[in-house]
Amino acid sequence: MTPAPMPRQARPDVRTGRLRAADPFELIRWLARSQTDPRKALAELVQNSLDAQARAVTITRVRERGVATLRVLDDGEGVIPELARSEALAYVATHIGHSRKRNLTPEQRRELLLQGQYGIGLLGFWSIGAELEMRSQVGGGEPWALRMWEEKPNFEVAPLRGRLRLAGTRTEVVVRGLHRPALVSLTGRRIGDYLAAEMRGQLLDRDVTVTVHDRMARGRAQKVRRVEPVRFAGDRLALPETLAVPGHGPIRVELYLVPEGGEPGRVSVACGGTVVYDDLAAALDGRFAHEPWTAGRVAGLLDFRDFAVAPGSRRAVLLDAAADAFGGVVEAKLAPGVRERLADDERRRVAALEADLVQKLERAFRDLAREAPEYDFLAVRGGERKATGGPEASPGATVPEAGATAEEDVVDSAMPLLPAGPLARVEIVPVRARVERWGERRLRARATDGSGARVGGVECTWALVEGPGSVEATGPMEAAFRAAEATGMARVAVTARKGGRETSGEAQVEVVEEITGNQPRAGIPEPAFVTDPRGDWRSRLADGRWEVNAAHRDYLSVEGSPRRKLRYLAALLAKEIVLHSYPTPQGGTLLERLVAVLTVTERRLERG
C-alpha cells in the first residue's frame, strides 16, 4: 500500500493571496474609456436588446428640455426578469465586468445568438453622453430606473414616475447630454448606415425590426428610417457557404465580386454577426495583407463565432488557438478558391474588352468615308469577315484589284534601284468606290512601266465615260468625282501620255443614297495580335490582315489601360489608312515615329 503524500508546508518567507484592485473605480474608468467610438457604443446598447430576444428596437434622437438625448427602447425579455426590478438593476450596477451570459455553454450561446459576455457594454455610454438611465418594466409591473453618471462612482436605483410608453415588458436606455462627437456621428442617417453594416449578420439571422427616429433632423432630412442589412454590390462568388474549422464552429462565407468601376471592395470579419474587423487585410496582425484580399476586387463578410473579442472596444480579437484555426482555414481552403474565381473573371473581362475595342474602333472610323472621302478604306479579306460574322465584301469598302495590298503600294513608291522604263500602263486608285448623292470622291492615277515601276512626269486626262456625276482634274495625277442627284454606276477613265506613248485605265464609282448604316464595319479590319518581341514594327498589313505587334514596348505600355489601348489602336489604324491612301517613300517610317510620339504624350496628358 502506497503511503499518502505528506502535506507540503508553506515556507515562512512565501506569501500568497488573491489579486485585487487598489481602486476598483479606476479600473472601471479604464474600461469605460477603452470605448472611443460613439457608434460602437450605441451598437453595444442595441446588442443588449438583441441578446434579450427583442423583436422590435426603437432608437430615438431627440432634444428634451434643451438637452440632446438618445433613447434605445426594446420589447425583449427584460433585465434579469426573475428578480425584482430594484434587485435586478442594482445587480447590473454592482457586477461590472461580470455577465450572467458567461455561464452559458458555447452551444447555448450559439442557439440563442448571444454576443455579450463581459458585463461592460453599458459603460460605453461615457463616449456618448454624460448620464445614463436604464428603465426596466416586466409584465406591466412597476417600472424602475438605474442612473449612472460619467466619471462618477455612484449609481442610483429608484422607482420611475409613471410608466413606460408601452405596456408589457420593456427596457429603455436613455443617454442624456450627448457629447459633441456623438452629436456629429449619431445622426439618424449615420446610425442607420452604421448598424446596417456593423450588425448585418444578426439583422439577417433574427426576426427583429430596428427603427431610427431622428427628431433633431432639420429641413427635408429623413426623420424615420428602418435599419436594413447592407446589401453587397456585385455577383456572389461560387464558393462554399460554410467552411469547417477543426475543433471550432464553422466560418460562414459570403463573398462578392466587386463591379468594374465601383469602389474598391473590402472583406469584413464578424463574430456572431457583429463586425470585429472592417478589412480582412488588417485582421490578425496583418497576416492576410496580400492577394486576393488586398486587390479590392472582393467584398463581403466572413463570420466566425468562436473568436474571443477584445472586451473594451469590441474591435479586434485575441490571437488564441481559435484565431489561428480561422487563419489556417482561410489561407488553405478559401484563398485558393477566391484566386481561381478572380482568374476566371479576368479571362472573361479580357475577352469582353477585346470585343469592345473592335466595336469602338468601328464606331470611331464609321464616318470617315463620308467626311473624308479622299482616304481609301483597307481591303478586308473575305475569310476574315466570315470569321467575325460579317459579310465577305462590305459595300462601304474600297476593294483593290486582286493581289494588290497597301504594302505593295508602299514598296512601289520607294525609290527604284534602276530608272523606270517607258510608260506601259495606267490605273485608277481605287478601282471601285462608292459615294453618296452630292458627295465627292477623290481619285488618283498610277502610271507604271512594263515591270511595274512607278513612272513620273505623266500627263493625265480625265473623263466620265458613262453614268451620273462629273469628274474634274485636281492635280497632275489626281481628280475628283462629284456626284449629283441621280444614283447609279459611273465609269471614270484616265488617259496617260509620256514620250509619245499613251495608255488608258478605268474605274467604277457607285452613287448611292447613303453609305453608313447597313455595314458599319466596312473596310475596318479586326486586329490580329502577333507576338514579335524582336520586331520594331507596331502594325502592318500582311496577307490581307491587319497585324498588331503585341510584344512592342509601346503596346505593352498601354495594354493595362483600355482607354489608352483604344487610342493606340486607333492611331495605328489611321496610319495604315493614310499609307494605303497616299503611299510615299519613307511614309511608313515617319508615321511609325508619329505613333511613338503620340503614345508617350498620351501618358503625360492622362497624368494632367
Residues 98-111: tens digit of each pLDDT = 665 545 455 544 44
Q: Give a yes or no: residue 362 inside a domain.
A: no
End of a domain among 226, 261, 285?
226
Distance of alpha carbon 524 from alpha carbon 44, whole angstroms? 64
pLDDT tens digit string along 240-293? 999 999 999 999 999 999 987 778 899 999 998 888 999 999 999 889 999 999
Q: Give a yes or no: residue 285 inside a domain.
A: yes
* Same domain, yes or no: 559 and 471: no
Distance between alpha carbon 355 and the CA centroid of its chain, in Å?
20
Contacts by 151-157, CB closer than 8 A, 24 or more apart:
151/29, 151/126, 153/25, 153/28, 155/93, 157/86, 157/89, 157/90, 157/93
For the cut 50, the answer to whether the pLDDT of residue 388 exceeds it is no
Structural domain total, the chain: 4
Helix (H) or strand (E) holding 603: helix 587-607
CA distance from start to end of the chain: 94
Backbone angles phi, psi at 156, to 5 degrees: -145, 130
Helix (H) or strand (E) holding 340: helix 335-365
Q: Which of 203-217, 308-322, 485-499 is the least confident region?
A: 308-322
* Same domain, yes or no: 35 and 103: yes
User: Residue 113: what pLDDT?
Assistant: 42
Q: How confident is the model at residue 520 (pLDDT cuts 50, 70, 90)?
A: very low
* Same domain, yes or no: 305 and 332: yes
Distance of alpha carbon 459 from alpha carbon 443, whole angstroms? 15
Question: Mean pLDDT highest for which of 25-39, 329-343, 442-456, 524-538?
Answer: 329-343
Segment 400-410 mean pLDDT = 36
Q: Give a yes or no: residue 3 inside a domain.
A: no
Which CATH number is 416's domain given?
2.60.40.10
Closest CA to 490 of 513, 519, 472, 464: 464
Backbone angles phi, psi at 440, to 5 degrees: -135, 140
* Same domain, yes or no: 84 and 167: yes
Closest CA to 522 of 403, 375, 402: 375
Distance of alpha carbon 454 from alpha carbon 584, whole angstroms? 11
* Same domain, yes or no: 174 and 255: no
Q: Which of 57-66, 483-492, 586-595 is the least confident region?
A: 586-595
Q: How confident is the model at residue 316 (pLDDT cuts 50, 70, 90)?
A: confident
User: Residue 390: what pLDDT?
Assistant: 34
Q: Give a yes or no: residue 350 inside a domain.
A: no
Residues 582, 584, 585, CA angle at the centre, nearest 5°?
165
Higher-pLDDT residue of 11, 155? 155
Q: Give a yes or no: residue 310 inside a domain.
A: yes
Q: How confident is the model at residue 119 (pLDDT cuts 50, 70, 90)?
A: low
* Same domain, yes or no: 480 and 558: no
Q: Give a yes or no: residue 71 inside a domain.
A: yes
Question: Mean pLDDT highest for which of 190-194, 374-378, 603-607?
Answer: 190-194
For the cut 50, the answer to whether the pLDDT of residue 86 exceeds it is yes
* Same domain, yes or no: 307 and 416: no
User: Residue 85: what pLDDT?
Assistant: 93
User: Residue 238: what pLDDT?
Assistant: 92
Higher-pLDDT residue of 262, 173? 173
Q: How confident is the model at residue 5 (pLDDT cuts 50, 70, 90)?
A: low
For the cut 90, the answer to whether the pLDDT of residue 522 exceeds it is no
For the cut 90, the answer to whether the pLDDT of residue 70 exceeds it is yes
Q: DSSP letters of 375-416?
A: SPPPP--HHHHHHTT--SS-TTS--PSTT--HHHHHHHHSPP
Give the domain range for residue 412.
382-512
Distant-in-sequence, close-in-space partners of 606: CB < 8 Å, separation ≥ 6: 561, 564
* Same domain, yes or no: 502 and 401: yes
Query: Are residues 214 and 187 in contact, defined by beta-carbon separation less than 8 angstroms?
Result: yes
User: Residue 118: what pLDDT?
Assistant: 47
8-state DSSP, 235: E
For the cut 50, the answer to whether the pLDDT of residue 150 exceeds it is yes
445's grid cell: 492615277
User: Residue 488: what pLDDT?
Assistant: 92
Q: Which residue has the cell 442617417?
A: 189
Distance of alpha carbon 158 from alpha carbon 160, whole angstroms? 6
For the cut 50, the answer to whether the pLDDT of residue 474 exceeds it is yes
Q: Give a yes or no: residue 6 inside a domain.
A: no
Closest CA to 455 of 464, 446, 463, 465: 446
255's grid cell: 463573398
* Same domain, yes or no: 160 and 33: yes
CA pseudo-torsion sign 115, 117, 122, 125: negative
Which CATH number is 206's domain given?
3.30.565.10
Distant-in-sequence, close-in-space partners of 411: CB < 8 Å, separation ≥ 6: none
Q: Which residue has the cell 430576444?
A: 53
Rounded to 10°, the helix 562-581/406-413 angle is 60
User: Residue 377: what pLDDT?
Assistant: 66
* Same domain, yes or no: 82 and 47: yes
Q: Give a yes or no: residue 338 inside a domain.
A: yes
366's grid cell: 464609321
End of a domain among 512, 546, 566?
512
Query: Are residues 370 and 516 in contact, defined by beta-carbon separation less than 8 angstroms?
Result: yes
How many Cα atoms within 13 Å fall on the side-chain side of residue 264?
Answer: 8
End of a domain among 328, 344, 360?
344
Segment 465-485 mean pLDDT = 91
* Same domain, yes or no: 506 and 550: no
Average pLDDT for the chain = 82
pLDDT > 70 fraction of the chain, expressed in percent and rounded: 83
* Same domain, yes or no: 50 and 169: yes
Distance of alpha carbon 121 from alpha carbon 118, whole angstroms? 7
